[in-house]
Homo-oligomer: A and B are copies of this chain.
Amino acid sequence: MLKEERQAYILHQVNLHNKVLSSHLSEQIQVSEDTIRRDLMELAREGKILKVHGGALSNSYHQGIASRDVYAVAEKRTIAMKAVQLIQDGMFVLTTGGTTIMELARILPPELRATFITVSLPAAFEYSNHPNIEVIVIGDRLAKDSKITVGGEAITKIMNIRADLCFLGVNAIDAEAGLTDNDWEVVQVKKAMIATSRKIVALSISEKVDTTDRLKVCDIDAIDILITELQPKAKKLIPYSKKGVKIL
């Protein structure tokens, strides 16, 4: 990995999370902490970031520009960290949109070499910041609120893909009612993704577990793996485990 490339990645991380730790970065990028420190120093000298003991801060941070308020970021990040371990080099990965997926997109290790296919424009953007990830956008009509593409063309295109892994952002999940959602178009897309992927992974904060919505996406046994921010053995998740879903 080139020095400039690495620094661009670091800068992106800083601007995204407002704070980075040298130790954390060193592990992510797989270089020594010394190198990270030198990078941070260089970026700081250019005024791009603010160097502090142990890491660096975005310099807009203490200027007080409103940090993004995503609900339950910590939980979502936990989920993302578990999810990222499932991805291996060379895989074809299908993803929906949603804030949990975005968290996943942000923490993808820079050396990961995989192909991500998505209907979500924000996710596509985020993926494209990673040097070794090839991004395929599924095109069709753009749903304005969710910024994902929906429609027959999109469905057809998804169906023509054989993905290794499919990450579903969850709207509502219940052991009996299965996966449910509230937008008809989104449901169609998710159904197509489930139909065409080898392994289905549902990402859900625990708050959404045991809830249902109006439109059914699939039965619970269509899900291979369920990831929440809870411990795999958590009481709340036992019913899902019993239905044969693997819990992470």
Residues of B within 8 A of A157 (CB): 139, 153
Contact B140 A57 (CB under 8 A): no
Decide if A191 is an interface residue (CB 8 Å cutoff).
no
Residues of B within 8 A of A121 (CB): 121, 124-125, 137
What sequence of 0s and 1s flags, for each residue 25-54 of chain A, a beta carbon within 8 Å of any chain B beta carbon? 000000000000000000000001010111
Instruction: Report the minimal beta-carbon distance from A50 to chain B, rounded to whole angstroms.
Output: 8
Decide if A11 is an interface residue (CB 8 Å cutoff).
yes
Decide if A18 is an interface residue (CB 8 Å cutoff).
yes
Residues of B within 8 A of A134 (CB): 141
What sequence of 0s and 1s flags, for each residue 210-244 of chain A, a beta carbon within 8 Å of any chain B beta carbon? 00000000000000000000000000000000000
Contact A128 B149 (CB under 8 A): no
Could you say how many copies of this chain the assembly holds? 2
Give the number of residues in A that approach B within 8 Å (Cβ atoms).
44
CB interface residues, A 112-141, toward B, < 8 Å: 121, 124-125, 127-128, 131, 134-141
Decide if A89 is an interface residue (CB 8 Å cutoff).
no
Contact among B55, B139, B142 for A140, CB-based, below 8 A? B139
Residues of B within 8 A of A11 (CB): 65-66
Instruction: Report the minimal beta-carbon distance from A158 to chain B, rounded to whole angstroms.
Output: 10
Contact A137 B136 (CB under 8 A): no
